């Protein structure tokens, strides 16, 4: 009996150690799984075809028709993140979003992720003061992703709140109302080797109703009115002419 108790005690210790190790490596393993789940995919957008920002946060692309392949449109929830490119930049993030992917807990801190071109800088002319946000490609309210470095880019407050948020909320509201799924893809568009994206391409198509509920393809500008941005490295300054 004593030997049996000793063996049982050792087994419990080993099981406990295994559980602790599993908990510690889960976030890393999950992140790697996301990164390896999809090859690097670049946006089909040519920046030469995108008009200069003229006061509207986004412009319609491809007659507002998303470019998902038929074989990829499925009524099953998943999320996938492209690997970082050679410069450490995010590439693409895609998902079939259903109610089961949406978060049920408050968002965690994103401060441990430093996306390419990041600077912590404030301007009085920016709502909330901070020029840059750690912008989710797949918005937190859609997939519940927190500090995933494959899903966060350096984006202006304007792009995040005035540009991307309206489309994220459109998708979220539709899913909550219908319990249907939405194909969703966001791809940052970089010029050359710039570390800050010129903008993001956002595409979405509702699945069960074949796009009658949700369908869009837009380019959202990564700009901040009143601020000049050096997209090569993220540095910035006040645009004096804007306020004259």
| pLDDT (mean) for 179-204 | 98
Distance CA 207, CA 97 (A): 10
Are residues 25 and 55 located together in one domain of the fold? no
The count of domains in the chain is: 2
Asked whether residue 14 carries a pLDDT value surpassing 80, the answer given is no
The residue written with tokens 């309206």 in the block is 166
Inform me whether the pLDDT recorded for 9 exceeds 70.
no
- Three-state DSSP at 241 gives helix
| pLDDT > 90 in the chain, percent | 72
Model confidence at 72, pLDDT cuts 50, 70, 90, reads confident
* pLDDT at residue number 104: 84
**Tell me, what's the pLDDT at 112?**
87
Are 138 and 28 within one domain? no
Q: Are residues 126 and 22 in the same domain?
A: no
Over range 135-141, report the average pLDDT.
94
Alpha carbon distances (Å) from 137 to 51, 82, 96, 163, 173? 22, 11, 14, 12, 18
CATH code: domain of residue 197: 3.40.570.10
| Residue 36 predicted with pLDDT over 70 | no
Q: Is the pLDDT of residue 75 over 60?
A: yes
Q: Tell me what the mean pLDDT of segment 50-77 comes to.
A: 94
pLDDT for position 24: 44
Q: Which residue has the higher pLDDT, 206 or 144?
A: 206
Residues near 31 by beta carbon (within 8 Å), at least 6 away in sequence: 148, 149, 150
What confidence tens digit (pLDDT) does each residue in 80-128 have?
A: 999 999 999 999 999 999 999 998 888 778 778 999 999 999 999 999 9
Domain boundaries, position 116: 38-243
Phi-psi category of residue 202: left, alpha or beta, with phi > 0 → left and psi -120 to 50 → alpha:
beta
Mark whether 220 and 130 lie in a shared domain: yes
- 210 or 30, which is more confident: 210
pLDDT, position 35:
43
Closest CA to 204 of 233, 178, 168: 168
Answer yes or no: is pLDDT of 130 > 80.
Answer: yes
106 and 157, same domain (yes or no): yes
What is the spatial distance between Cα 122 and Cα 43, in angstroms, rounded to a whole number? 30
Residues 6 or more apart in contact with residue 212 via CB below 8 angstroms: 206
User: Three-class SS string for 39-69?
Assistant: CCCCCCCCHHHCCCCCCCCEEECHHHCCCCC
Whole-model pTM: value is 0.82
Same-domain pairing of 97 and 45 = yes
Contact 31, 149 (CB under 8 A): yes
Report which of 105, 157, 113 is spatially closest to residue 132, judged by C-alpha positions: 157
CA 76, 44, 101: angle at the middle one, nearest 5? 25
Is the Cβ–Cβ distance between 142 and 183 less than 8 Å? no
| Tokens linked to 134 | 């750690």
Cβ–Cβ under 8 Å, residues 30 and 38: no
Q: How confident is the model at residue 6 (pLDDT cuts 50, 70, 90)?
A: low
Identify whether residues 212 and 233 lie together within a single domain: yes
Looking at the structure, do residues 22 and 52 belong to the same domain, yes or no?
no
Q: Do 29 and 43 fall into the same domain?
A: no
């Amino acid at each position: 009996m004593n030997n049996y108790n000793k063996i049982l005690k050792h087994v419990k210790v080993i099981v406990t150690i295994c559980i602790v190790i599993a908990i510690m490596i889960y976030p890393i393993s999950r992140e790697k799984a996301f990164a390896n789940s999809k090859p690097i995919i670049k946006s089909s957008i040519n920046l030469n075809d995108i008009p200069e920002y003229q006061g509207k946060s986004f412009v319609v692309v491809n007659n507002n028709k998303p470019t998902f392949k038929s074989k990829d449109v499925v009524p099953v929830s998943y999320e996938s993140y492209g690997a970082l490119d050679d410069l450490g930049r995010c590439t693409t993030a895609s998902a079939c979003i259903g109610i089961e992917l949406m978060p049920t807990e408050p968002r965690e801190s994103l401060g441990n992720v430093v996306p390419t071109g990041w600077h912590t800088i404030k301007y009085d002319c920016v709502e909330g003061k901070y020029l840059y946000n750690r912008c989710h490609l797949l918005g937190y309210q859609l997939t519940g992703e927190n500090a995933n470095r494959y899903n966060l880019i350096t984006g202006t407050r304007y792009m995040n709140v005035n540009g991307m948020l309206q489309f994220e909320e459109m998708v979220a509201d539709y899913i909550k109302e219908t319990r249907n799924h939405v194909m969703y893809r966001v791809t940052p568009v970089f010029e050359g080797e710039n570390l800050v994206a010129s903008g993001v391409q956002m595409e979405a198509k509702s699945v069960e109703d074949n796009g009658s509920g949700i369908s869009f393809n837009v380019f959202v500008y990564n700009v901040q009115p009143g601020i000049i941005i050096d997209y090569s490295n993220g540095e910035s300054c006040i645009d004096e002419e804007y306020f004259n």
